[in-house]
Amino acid sequence: MEKNCLFEHIKRKLAEAKADTADCKIEEELYKQVWLPGYPALTEVFRPIDVEKGSTSVVIAIAGTLTPGTMTAGDFGVTNMPYTYSTIDINNTKGLSVGWTREWLEDSVQGVGPQLAEVGRSIEEQIFKDCLTELEADVGSNTILLSSTFSYANFLAGIAALEANNYHCDVVLCNPQEYYELLNDDKFIHASYVGNTSSINSGMIQTTLGARVFCSTDVATGKVFFLDSRKALALGWIRQRTTESYALPTTNQYGVVASVRYGLEVVIPLAVVMGAT
């Protein structure tokens, strides 16, 4: 009798574990469909920082510059690295939901995949717009004048302006119009032939001076941002890319809710240069 009870207990636990695993796989698949398509201009440009739950802000340290002194006998010249601090307030929440009736799910040929992908893309695009607003608000006097047609000379001027602040340009953000104007300049094309394995930081200038170009219609025409992406803007996540499915059989509603909670801050304004016509 005891063996039978134990057998039933194990069988029940195995069934529960299998159900949990299936649920986890479903949720994992939902996550992939919503967030993996992503919005590259956001996910590959800005510095992500995870924030512990229970916090409404995060303080990050910014390393300063050491000034070497003269060493004397018995002096090891140990100097603490100077730091300044920047606070990122986690005060933004964005979310979208998409839902269907059971009949739509039964009859749809296209399926839910494209709609799920659009939910994640739309949320990340809105965050990217917030990032652009923050960059423009804090750029201050770090601006250069662009010609009416964006050229390789303009491209060099933006990178040079950033280098003058002792930061290295590794990202350029522009509108597709400026990007295709740039592609029409042979000098830019020739610079791209050199290669793409090293950046300017190593002292070897390759591929458009080590800068990746991201174009998006969210960047206004006539504006181009030159960034040291490791120093320019930090994006703090306390709820990073969540997905939650829901089912309401009594009202015939089935769907997914996706949301994020985040904060953003231009950490070092001098690590951003904006070009404008």
- Structure confidence by residue, pLDDT tens digits, 113-143: 888 888 888 888 888 899 899 999 988 888 9
Residue 86 DSSP code: E
Give the pLDDT of residue 216. Answer: 87
Q: When comparing pLDDT for 73 and 152, which is higher? A: 152
**Nearest-angstrom CA–CA distance, 239 and 262:** 7
Q: Mind listing the pLDDT tens digit for each residue in 6-60?
A: 555 555 655 555 555 555 555 677 777 777 766 666 767 777 777 767 667 766 6
Q: In degrees, to the nearest 5, what angle opens at C-alpha 122 toward C-alphas 210 and 233?
A: 40
Give the pLDDT of residue 225. Answer: 94
**Nearest-angstrom CA–CA distance, 161 and 241:** 35
What 3-state class would DSSP assign to 121? helix
Instruction: Decide: pTM greater than 0.85.
Output: no
Edge-to-edge strand ranges of the sheet holding 253-266: 47-50, 233-248, 253-266, 92-100
Residue 203 DSSP code: T
**Nearest-angstrom CA–CA distance, 96 and 274:** 31
Q: Mind listing the pLDDT tens digit for each residue in 193-231?
A: 544 444 434 333 345 667 888 888 899 999 999 999 888
Domains of the chain: 37-276 (3.90.1690)
**Nearest-angstrom CA–CA distance, 144 and 223:** 10
**Nearest-angstrom CA–CA distance, 181 and 172:** 14
**Nearest-angstrom CA–CA distance, 187 and 11:** 70
